[in-house]
Structure 1
Amino acid sequence: MRLTHFIAAVGLVPGLVLGRVATVRRGVDCYYTATADSSTLTCQAFADRWFITLAEFHLVNPDVNCPNLVVDVSYCVYAEITSETSSSSSSISLSTSSSTFSTTPLSTPTSTTTSIISSTSSLITTSSRTSSTVQTSSTSAPSPSFTPVLPGVASNCNRFYKIVTGDECDIVAAKNGITTAQLRSWNVINTSCSNLWLDYYVCVGIPGVTPSSTIRSTTSSAPTPTVSPVMPGHASNCNRWDKVRSGDQCDTLAGRNGVSVAQLRSWNTQINAQCNNLWLDYYVCVGIPGVTPSPTTSTPTSGPTPTVSPVMPGYASNCNRWYKVRSGDQCDTIASRNGITIAQIRTWNSQVNAGCTNLWLDYYICIGVPVTAPSPLMPGTAGTCNRWHLVASGDQCDNIASRNGISVAQFRSWNTQVNAGCTNLWLGYYVCTRA
C-alpha cells in the first residue's frame, strides 16, 4: 500500500471542517479542509491561498473539476493518499517563504522515500534515498523563533502573538496595536476569521510598522461578559446583550433591540452573510458604549405591566396569558396543559434554560402573546394560522407534523402550496402548524 502525506501546516493541523465538503475519491483520507470564499473561487487562487501548487491541489482533490470552485464548499489541503498498486512510501512537504515543514512518513526503514518541495515556480524532485524520515531543506527566510506558527505568515515578520481562548481578529489586532486589515495582510486568515488556531502564533508586526500607542496588554484584556453562554466574535466592549430565541433572524434581533442589522453584524463578527448560524440560547452583542437604541423599538420594559405577580424575568413584553409554576412542573407538562409548544414557552420566557430546570416555584411565566404572523411566510399558509414552524435543512412534512403533534394531512391543509411529495418546502421560510 502506498501512503502519501500532504501537509499544509507545521505539525498537526486541527481537523476543522467548514461548510459543505467536496466529494473526495476513495483512497484520499482528508484530515483538514478549508472553505472556498469569494476570493478563492478558482483552483489556482485556492492553491495560492494555502501555499500549495495546482498539481498538489489536484492530488488531494482528485474529483474536483477545475478551474472553478463553489463558494462555501470545503476542499482538502491535508490528506493521506493510499493506493494498492505500490508498497513504497512517499512524503510530500511544503516549503514557503516563511517557514520550513517536515514530516515522518508511515514507512519502514527499508522503503524508498521521495521528497517533493513545493515552490512558487515548480515541483522539484530530489534524489531518492533509503530512510524513514524526510526533512526538506530551504533557502527561504529564517524560521520564526516561535512555534508552532499559523501557516502563511509574512516572511519578514518580526513580532508574533500566541492565540488564546476567545481571540478573534479584532481582539488580536487591538491587543497588539494594529488594525484588523494589517493582521489579515500578514497572515492567511479567512474572511470569517474562523481559522485562528489555539496556541499557534500569528504575525503582528513587520519592519517599519510601529504599533499604535493604544496597544492593549494581554493582562488587561476586555472584561468577561456579564452573561453566559456568549456566541463567539462579539465586540470586546459590548455592554448590552440579547439571548437568541427560536425563530430569531438578524432583522428580528436588531428590531427587538433598536439597532440596525449592520450594527448587529459589526458587533458579532461570526454571524455569516445569510444570518443562518445564530446559536440558540446563546447571547449576542446588541450594544456598545456611545450607541443609543432607537426609541421606536420596543424593549422588555416597554410593554404593559403584567396583570399577575410575581413574574419570572425574561417574559415577552407583549404577553397576554400567564401560568403560575407549580411543584413538579416541567416545560413539557406546562406546554401540554396549555396547548402550546416547549419552543413557544422558551421563546416567550427567555430566561428559561435549555433543560427547563430553572423554573421558579409560584412565579408566573408567559404562555401566550397576540398572534402575529412571522416573516417570511411560505405562500399558501392558512389565514387563521396561530402557530408556525421555521423550515430548516432536512425538514420533511412528516417530521414537522410529528414535532408539532399534528397529522401530515392537517399540515398540508394549512399549507396549500406544499406539493404531494413535500419536496418544495422553502428553507428559511415559515409554514403553518396550527389554525
Structure 2
Amino acid sequence: MQLFLLGTLSLLFQASHGSPSRHQRRDDKPSMPIAPGTTQSCASWYDNDGSLPCELIPYAWNLSLEDLIRWNPSITAECGNFKEGFSFCIQEKEVPVPVSSTTTKFTTAPPSSTTLVPSKTTPTKPSTTAVGGNGVETPDPIQPGMVSNCNKFYFVEPGDNCNAVSSKHGITLAQFTTWNPKLGTGCSGLWADVWVCVSVIGQTATPTQSTKPTYGIETPSPIQAGMTKSCNKFHLIKSTTTCNSIENYYKLPLKDFYSWNPAVGTNCQSLLVDYWVCVSVVGWTAPTPTTPSNGITTPTPIQTGMTKNCNKFHTIKSTTTCASIQDYYKISFADFYAWNPAIGSACTSLLVGYNVCVGIIGQQPSPTSTGNGITTPTPIQAGMTKSCNKFHTIKSTTTCSSIQNYYKISFADFYAWNPAIGSKCTALWVDYNVCVVGQTPTPTQPSNGVTTLHLSRVV
C-alpha cells in the first residue's frame, strides 16, 4: 500500500513538476537555516518552502531516502521532522575512493573527512585482521578514524542516529563521538552500512536508557543538549507536536519551556521528533487560570499586559487576523489594541494558541453612528475623522493613488481624514475601512473661477 501511494505521488509530481533537473531548485549555498545535524560536507541544498513533501525529495533529486536521512539526521526513518523553513542537504561532496588495485570510483564522503574509504558493502562478519595489536578482530568496512583499541562494534543501519546507537549500547554520546571522531561534534558524519565502535578495552558499559539524578527521577533518552537537570516530567515529541500544543496541554508558559529546553530555540525551530523534552521541574507548579476581582476566569495562555477587566476571550488560530476579530466582535482596533497591547500597534504579534481579550465589563460593541447620522463600518484605523460621509474597504491591490484617482480627492484630505495611514501612505491596511469623503473637503479653484467642493461629486 505504501509503495502504491509513493508511486501515485511520484506520478502526480511528474505530471505537475516535470523533470526535476529543469524545474526543481538546488543551490550550492543554503538560503534558510540549516536543519540540525546536517552534514557539513554538502554540495547541494534544498530550501524547504513546503512545496514538496519529504517522500518526494528522493524522487525529485534521484537519490535514496537512506542518503537523504544520512545527510540530514534530523529527518526520521518515516520522513518526519522535514520542517518547512529549513535547508536540507540533497548531495554531498564527492571524493575518489579506491575499489581495487586497478579501478577507482566515486562515493559520498562524510563531513570534514578527506580520508579515502571503501565503498559500501554488504555487512560482513569481523575479519581475521587484528588492529593495534590488541588481539581484537575488527570488521570491515569501518567508520573512518575509529580508535584502534575498540573491542565492540555495531553495524550502522539506514535511519540510525547517534543518540539511538549510544543509548542502545549503554554509552554516552560523548564516548561514542570520542571513539568515532569522524562523526563530528554534531554527529553529522554517521555513515550507513559501516561498522562503528561502541566499546573500548577497559571500558564497562552502563545503561543509559535512563539516568537517575540525585532527586531520584529517571531521565529518558534521547534528549536534546542542555536540558535542565532538575526535570521531573518529560514529553516525547511526535511529528504533530508543537510548542504551543505542549504549552496548552501542560499549562506551561513558553518562557519556562524554552529555559528548560534551550536546544529547542527561542522560536521553537528545533523541536526534534522522537526526542524527550522537559515539561516540569522540581518545585514548579502549573499556573492556574486567574480569577480577577470581576469574578471572571481568565484562560491561559495570554499575552503580557492584557487588561484586567476582560469578560470575553478569543483563542487565536493560524487564520485569525485583527481584522477578522474586529469584524466578528464588532470592536474597533483602538479598543482591541488597548485591551491587548502585546499584539503591537500594527497587529504584528497575534500569537497562535494564545487568548486575547475581545470584550470588557461595561463595553457595548456596535457600529458607531457619527453626528452626521452615517453609520461607520468596522474595522477602521485609529484616528479616522468622525465626520465621514463615505467609506472604502482596502483590498490587497489598493493604493493611496488609486483611491485619490477614483474618488477625485487630494492626498492632503485623504491623510487628514485617515491619519493612521501615515504621511507617506505606508500603513494602508487590507480589509480596513477608510474615509474617502469627509464633510470639510478642500475646495478647488478651476479656470472658470467657480469654486467646486469635492463633496459635490458624491452620489
TM superposition score normalised by structure 1: 0.35
Greater relative contact order structure (CA < 8 Å, 6+ sep): 1
TM superposition score normalised by structure 2: 0.34
Structure number with the higher helix fraction is 2
